[in-house]
Amino acid sequence: MGTDLNESPKREVSLVLNKYEGVIKRYREFLPEIDDKHIITILEGNTPLIKARNLGKIINPDIEIYFKYEGLNPTGSFKDRGMTMAISKAVSEGSKAVICASTGNTSASASAYAARAGMKSFVLIPEGKIAAGKLSQALVHGAVVMQIQGNFDDALSITREIAKDYDVALVNSVNPFRLEGQKTASFEIVDELGAAPDYHILPVGNAGNITAYWKGYREYHDAGKIKSLPKMLGFQAEGAAPIVLNHIVKEPHTVATAIRIGNPASWQKAVAARDESGGLIESISDEDILKAYALLAANEGIFCEPASAISFAGLIKLNGRGFFKKGDVCVLTLTGHGLKDPQNAIKVSKEPIVVPCDKNSVLKAMGLK
Ligand code: F0G
């Protein structure tokens, strides 16, 4: 065995793996300028676009279904794409601290990127309504976590006021740099498919992501990279569906806590994305969200959080009324990883079997004896 590392094939592999430098460097020409020295990245983006293997056959064999699995970002959600931009921008402006309101994922992402930048982070979350994984992230990354006795909408309005008057950078999606980063998911989808999908399906909460995706597709269209644009299909939870109802929901409720929002900040932009693309925004019951969530995990091996599964629940709903035609390509964003919210996974699943500690009992429990 040679000892010269330069000749080791292992070393070559590691060089290849390290080539990816995050969304800012990959899509620089489409993003606001950020100096190299200010870029804060944890190598977000570059997430897999996974073709459905089993669910297509069950739901509709005539259409192509792809999952953009954003749960595989560094902090487990799509928020990292926007956070690398927002935090890098804050660093370039000399900010020493960031603040956000969050249903969980934004707080996880903001606190992680702030930690990497050496900045302080403050997060406001609705008391008791945030999945355990997300809370653990904000805490372990060292954020000052404030559980407010109100909902996300209340938290966001306090946060905006504080950011206006004090020297802390606001990193919610009302910060335009967040949406700039998030639009890179559209670029990746097109780069992989070689064209835009016919339909893009995603959850709608504060409505930043649907706005960002639509912006991304349009920019690629303007740059001549795609000839057609997708129709944007957004879904809100029935108990938190202000855009569908066309009025603010004062006390939003849903099992999908990530999208438990009654007054989305990017409301009008989401409506524009819907209307300009010829798409729709509809609502889904908690029951159907959880059914889709369990189906995805059991049939594709893809574990996403309940809010993410609303994309698939939406596809099932539309398919049930003959919405799609043969050959349609549908991309569904699965916004966050299932491990964020283990409690819901356990709730929708069978309990583990308790078995005495011997081989025969195990075989019996396996149905082999
Ligand atoms: N899916 C997940 C997993 C989310 O965390 C969110 C939003 C959405 C979908 C909706 O995206 O707000 O851009 O329409 N989470 C925010 C947060 C509100 O604080 O983590 P949106």
Q: Would you state the structure tokens that stand for residue 360, as one six-digit string? A: 């025969």
Residue 302: pLDDT over 50: yes
Residue 12: pLDDT over 70: no
Question: 263 CB less than 6 Å from ligand 1?
Answer: no
Mean pLDDT of 37-52: 98
Per-chain mean pLDDT for the chain: 95
Residue 298: pLDDT over 80: yes
| The residue to which tokens 């990530």 are assigned | 258
Backbone angles phi, psi at 220, to 5 degrees: -65, -35
Question: 41 CB less than 6 Å from ligand 1?
Answer: no
Contacts of 175 (CB under 8 A, 6+ apart): 86, 89, 169
At 71-129, the pLDDT tens digits run: 999 999 999 999 999 999 999 999 999 999 999 999 999 999 999 999 999 999 999 99
pLDDT of residue 19: 85
pLDDT of residue 3: 43
Which atom number of ligand 1 is nearest to the Cα of residue 304? 3
Q: Can you tell me the distance from the alpha carbon of 13 to that of 29, in angstroms, rounded to the nearest whole number?
A: 28
Distance 306 CA to ligand 1 centre (A): 11
Ligand 1 pocket check: which of 68, 83, 202, 206 to mutate, most ligand atoms within 8 Å of Cβ?
A: 206
pLDDT of residue 10: 53
pLDDT of residue 5: 46
pLDDT of residue 31: 98
Q: Can you tell me the distance from the alpha carbon of 321 to that of 38, in angstroms, rounded to the nearest whole number?
A: 50
